[in-house]
Structure 1
């Protein structure tokens, strides 16, 4: 596995080595660079100042991505993702300094010991490990980087240290950074957070073929921790690789919580008159009910939705209604309310 560093992460020392001064860094922060933490920065975007090219050249070349700002709750997840990647990068550089100095001559190595102490052992875990693995976080649940270290639990402003020990076979080491394996990460998230967070990750990992249920259950059987094991089993029972977005996963969890059964995900219809096959998010054939879930992206698109896309969606829904199907749309906000789920329950109660 490789850590995918989406954003260009730079330390103060790296920027200085590129020929910038501290004053240049302050100016860049009002342009194309953002400060993540003390001495650590990420590049926001490509700017029009050729002087800054050395900072964002890798974005122009496609090696890194621009720092996306949505103007909604997704920005909190992006902020955390960048903070995790920054910590990974800093630890990698510190370890590199230690390795380089340990290869020096005995005399110079002795004089450098005090200034080249290795970073304390820690394992990225939970939401932080999920972000490194590229798993979706349905909505913000923490602003802190999460790591496991031997000892006791401690919370700081930007980091949550969970005291404990992760078995060696539940850890990965990439670029000098240790993290929990994908399977252990999924289990830890399911043990700690709400099912809609863990199920959306499980659905994504299973759909993309990153793991299997067998591997997850094997890892679960090896865990020392027994706390909230029933919660983990519930998330595994609710997981389904057919779902295609976190919003659909949240909806499935809400169906379970409201006692709604019989809704099958990702059902296809042959719509000859529209010259296409229509796939719906959820279908209850006995009730002739279609459920469509609008993810958070659609909530914030507003007038930016192309007119032809709106028309295509209207024709699609009309095709179902012409054939006596009922279509219920659930927006992102409605996933966290009761109204639509009570409506669905009333519809299903009429089915004999």
Structure 2
């Protein structure tokens, strides 16, 4: 403390001077990192980082001074000792608190880590407080380790809002391979495209070959960028809906001729 390497933010609380914002907030408030801040501590991928440190305080605690996203609830001895809520609880807390795409990104990332599974989430959601329980159940039921990142998760959420579309993540198309989202009935492939896998000459050629093979199978391929999915979801949904409408007309026409 004399050399400034350790701070004492409150009575009986000490932290390193270079502690990150979340742990510093935990030390100052006497609470536990939770919600999006807990997800960050676990290294999960999020749709967006928390604007403020997310802290859960014991029910009897007073509101501390400072700029935090505060929650109150029962904390286990283990959570208080480790200064972070459990993995399963973190997913359920996020599901009960945030919008569906934000919460599902957390849940998908938790499943990809492999420490908790979908059954854990379903049981915890069913046992969660009545307020927000339906939201928690929806997230638990929809969670999947097969979506690779929040980009794909958010694209999936947009796709679920389009009437008549039934997509599965990481669907397999013979001769093409895995695709991000696939509606087998309508023959629609939806891809979340990023520069990470497509900026090289080899990557470009691989994509051209994949999508040519898809077209030869009669599939329609829709490709969306990260910026479109994150900042223009309504436009993405509208584009998908237009294709769904035309593919539905074509499917009905084919069956009508066959009859």
State the TM bucket, normalised to the shorter chain. 0.7 to 0.9
Show CA shifts across 1:40-65 (max 9, x none). Answer: 448xxxxxxxxxxxxxxxxxxxxxxx
From the superposition, tell whether residues 217 and 324 of structure 1 become closer, same or farther in structure 2 (CA, over 3 Å).
closer
Which of 38, 41, 63 matches 1:132? 41
C-alpha displacement of 1:152: 5.1
In the alignment, the residues of structure 1 paired with residue 122 and residue 62 of structure 2 have an alpha-carbon distance, to the nearest angstrom, of 27
1:337 aligns with 2:234: yes
Q: Higher relative CO (CA 8 A, sep ≥ 6), structure 1 or 2?
A: 2
In the alignment, the residues of structure 1 paired with residue 34 and residue 84 of structure 2 have an alpha-carbon distance, to the nearest angstrom, of 6
In the alignment, the residues of structure 2 paired with residue 171 and residue 222 of structure 1 have an alpha-carbon distance, to the nearest angstrom, of 18
Larger Rg: 1
Q: Which secondary structure does the structure 1 equivalent of 2:218 belong to?
A: coil
Residue correspondence of structure 1 range 1-352 to structure 2 within 5 A: 13-14=4-5, 40-41=17-18, 82-84=20-22, 87=25, 91=27, 121-140=30-49, 142-150=50-58, 151=61, 156-157=66-67, 159-162=68-71, 164-168=72-76, 171=79, 173-174=81-82, 178-223=83-128, 225-271=129-175, 278-295=177-194, 298=195, 305-335=199-229, 336-338=233-235, 339-350=238-249, 351-352=251-252
In the alignment, the residues of structure 2 paired with residue 120 and residue 228 of structure 1 have an alpha-carbon distance, to the nearest angstrom, of 25
C-alpha displacement of 1:230: 1.3
Q: How large is the RMSD of aligned CA atoms in angstroms? A: 3.0
C-alpha displacement of 1:252: 1.7
- The gaps in structure 1 that reach 5 residues or longer are 1-11, 16-38, 43-81, 92-118, 272-276
The count of residues paired between Structure 1 and Structure 2 equals 233
C-alpha displacement of 1:155: 7.2
C-alpha displacement of 1:182: 0.5
TM-score when normalising by structure 2: 0.77
TM-score when normalising by structure 1: 0.58
Show CA shifts across 1:281-332 (max 9, x none). Answer: 111222222111125xx3xx7xx92222122212221121122221111222
C-alpha displacement of 1:172: 6.2
From the superposition, tell whether residues 154 and 211 of structure 1 become closer, same or farther in structure 2 (CA, over 3 Å).
same
Which one is further off, 254-263 or 314-323?
254-263
In the alignment, the residues of structure 2 paired with residue 194 and residue 290 of structure 1 have an alpha-carbon distance, to the nearest angstrom, of 26
